[in-house]
Chains A and B, each alone.
Chain A
């Protein structure tokens, strides 16, 4: 099946810093989504982005489908941004396969 790799696995930032999270995938995809899992376990949909670029406030994402990667940008990070960020892709199997996640800690 499709492989999804995320980097870095862990990231520690000071409040106000910017960061870039990367997601590589091994095959063509119909869907790519970014999620934020908060400390209570809730998965929050950030972006549905099989290709192109989207922005939502301090967050933006870019997917280059032909090169099989996606980037999530977080600007002016806040402590509430802490948690695990997951990339998930939907290939030929028509269901999401998740990467291993990036654990983000934003320090005050």
Chain B
């Protein structure tokens, strides 16, 4: 398994601003993902964070709105840009460790946009 931490754990932001969420893993991992969970809904994949190259975004998510960085094999950031109340969600970082198919999730960042 992997130990995953996220910062911040929660935040309240004003519309039009941006928030950067950090994800730190205690070991090197090959695959990192970012998910969104809107209130009362299931989890939806935003993008796969690729080390050394641009992230791969799912349909409905764009780099200008959700820029992602992955400078090394243990760290990634997700920025939620130009926020609106519709962006209020839990954002979760997830990893697969090398050689295994099982995915693990961080504790999430609970974002409220006013």
Interface of B is mostly: strand
A90 contact set on B, CB distance < 8 A? 101, 103
Q: A86 to chain B: which residues have CB within 8 Å?
A: 42-43
Quote the shortest CB–CB distance from A86 to chain B (angstroms).
Answer: 7
Residue in chain B with minimal CB distance to A40: B107
Expressed in whole angstroms, the Cα–Cα distance for A30 and B43 within the complex equals 19
Say if the beta carbon of A14 comes within 8 Å of chain B. no
Task: Identify which of A31, A35, A42 contacts B101 (C-beta below 8 A).
Answer: A31
A41-B90, A100-B42 are known contacts. Are A95 and B33 too (CB-CB below 8 A)?
yes
Query: Does A48 lie within 8 Å of B42, measured CB to CB?
Result: no
Contact A98 B90 (CB under 8 A): no
Are A45 and B104 within 8 A (Cβ)?
A: yes
B48 an interface residue at 8 Å Cβ cutoff?
Answer: yes
Minimum CB–CB distance from B112 to chain A (whole Å) comes to 13
Task: Please provide the chain A residues from 63 to 89 with a CB less than 8 Å away from any CB of chain B in the complex.
Answer: 86, 88
Selected from B41, B48, B94, B107, the residue in CB contact (under 8 A) with A42 is: B107
- In the complex, the answer to whether A31 meets B42 with C-beta atoms within 8 Å is no
The closest CB in chain B to the CB of A90 belongs to: B101
Per the 8 Å Cβ criterion, residues 1-60 of B in contact with A are 1, 33, 37, 41-45, 48
Which residues of A are at the interface with B, using a C-beta cutoff of 8 A? 30-31, 33, 35, 41-43, 45, 48, 50, 86, 88, 90, 95-101
